[in-house]
Amino acid sequence: MLNRFFITGTDTGVGKTVVSALLCAALDAIYWKPIQTGFSEDSDVATVTRLAALPSDRYIAETYLFSPPVSPHLAARLAGTRIDLRRIRLPKLDGTEGLIVEGAGGVLVPINGKQLMTDVMRHLGLPVLLVGRSGLGTINHTLLSLAALRQAGLRVHGVVMVGPPNRENRATIEHFGKVKVVGIVPPLAKLERYALIRVFRKHFDRRSFGK
């Protein structure tokens, strides 16, 4: 199935939420962020539903929601609780329904004293899309993240690069990372549903998403 993915990133603030919104719009998928920290009125759920123009039945509420903008394991501890992986279950959807699951932070972010974001990915069993910047520093960050994902036994579907297109960085990541860059999200004057769909049609390998 090419319409259900776990979206992770090389770092916090790298563009996972924009990519999640883009894929929800382009694939007509449901959005779910099981662990949200740094919650405010403008949460990632609110951002994705606004950017992708999703109706209220096209997103799933967070399993864990914390106010402090810190790592999930610390946010849970400050709230006097612990993130239990057994509570994070894939929603029951029909066989053709798309689903975009967004992780919190980067690949090796801890969720409790023993488990990492890679454990969440393995638990859910979805193919992984890694989001990275296009510019300086992305080669090291992306290759390290790919190595961590593979060491955890995860299936990497591809990389999405965010920022001005950089042919050399893309080629280097594909060569050394043994991975395909399946999409580019260039700088956009306006972030809204139809602009994101146009980016998908122009800058993504639609065959990688069954389109």
* DSSP per residue, 166-204: -HHHHHHHHHHHT--EEEEE---SS-SHHHHHHHHHHHB
Q: Decide if 37 contacts 104 (C-beta within 8 A).
A: yes
Model confidence band, residue 1 (pLDDT cutoffs 50, 70, 90): low
pTM of the predicted protein model: 0.96
**Token pair listed for 121:** 């990915």
**Helix, strand, or coil here: 25?**
helix
> Of these residues, 33, 114, 180, 202, which one is catalytic?
33
Q: Decide if 159 contacts 169 (C-beta within 8 A).
A: no
Over residues 95-111, mean pLDDT: 95
Structural domain boundaries enclosing 9: 4-209
Query: Domain with 109 in it: what CATH number?
Result: 3.40.50.300
33 annotated active-site: yes
Query: Which residue type sits at 24?
Result: C
Rg (CA), the chain: 16
Over residues 108-124, mean pLDDT: 98
Overall domain count for the chain: 1
Is the predicted pLDDT of residue 133 greater than 90, yes or no?
yes
Query: Which residue type sits at 167?
Result: R
- For position 41, what pLDDT does the model report? 57
